[in-house]
Amino acid sequence: MTADLARALRDELGLGESPPAMTLPGDSDGVPAGSLLPPRERFSGMPAPTHCFGYVDARAPRPFELRAAIMSGGSALRRSLGLGTLLYAVPLRVAVSGRAALGAPRGTRAVPFEGDAAVASRLNEDFDLVQQATTLAPTQAGPDSNHRWAVERLLSIEPHAQGGVLFVRTLHRANPTGWTLGAPAVLELAARVETALG
């Protein structure tokens, strides 16, 4: 399934070849040494156990990392695997003085960034950026209203030794041929954040 992730990113981003990818054990921290991504979190109420993690370290069209939780499930007759949460880390080309993150969800409305006053203020000046960020960081998923599961929202801009890093926890979208990973939207948001903070 990790190879499928890499191929999906290749197709979504129009790359000539799939980015490097690896599979990490489900009982691991979900990150290789030197990754920008934080260790995996353990949520309660998940619909299925984590089978493993797919990890992608892409260099084009700009550097970013992706960790996808691959969940196991099924019945006594048939075992199946499915995608859980996706966590992106995108290095930014601008310095960041402190952490700013989207606030707690308030229905479907866009919510402003909170945290470092200078960073949050500049991000909140661009209402379209805030709306785009809110759309990228849903907190619920499921095939219908009777089968839902939730995760804590995470969309933050944080300081790093080489500049800022954008972290986005998002969910895949199903389509007729499988699913999409939202990578173009995440990278577009990163560019927009750089413009706002530049």
Instruction: Check residue 80 and give its pLDDT.
Output: 47
Instruction: Check residue 77 and give its pLDDT.
Output: 41
Q: Are 39 and 7 in contact (CB under 8 A)?
A: no
Mean per-residue pLDDT over the chain, rounded: 86
Q: Are 60 and 13 in contact (CB under 8 A)?
A: yes
How far is Cα 178 from Cα 192, in angstroms, rounded to an integer? 28
Non-local (6+) Cβ contacts of 77 within 8 A are none
Torsion of CA 130, 133, 134, 139, to 10 degrees: -160
Cross-strand pairs, 21: 56
Instruction: Based on DSSP, count helices (H) and strands (E) in the chain, helices before strands.
Output: 4, 12
> pLDDT tens digit string along 21-71?
999 998 888 889 899 999 987 654 555 678 899 999 999 999 999 999 887
**Separation of CA 133 from chain center:** 11
> pLDDT tens digit string along 112-159?
999 999 999 999 999 999 999 998 988 776 555 665 666 788 999 999
Give the residue from 117, 132, 128, 127 showing the smallest Cα distance to 166.
132
Instruction: Check residue 83 and give its pLDDT.
Output: 76
Query: In what helix (H) or strand (E) does residue 51 lie, and over which residues does it extend?
Result: strand 50-58
**Separation of CA 166 from chain center:** 10
Q: Which residue has the tokens 């927009």?
A: 192
Q: Are 166 and 157 in contact (CB under 8 A)?
A: yes
The first and second tokens of residue 116, run together, are 């470092």
Domains of the chain: which residue ranges? 2-32+45-99+139-197
* Residues above pLDDT 90, as percent of the chain: 57
Mean pLDDT is lowest, of 11-15, 80-84, 183-187, for 80-84
Give the residue from 156, 157, 153 showing the smallest Cα distance to 141.
153
Q: How far is CA 10 from CA 4, 150, 175, 194, in A?
A: 10, 28, 16, 24
Q: How far is CA 115 from CA 35, 54, 99, 158, 172, in A?
A: 24, 31, 6, 10, 27
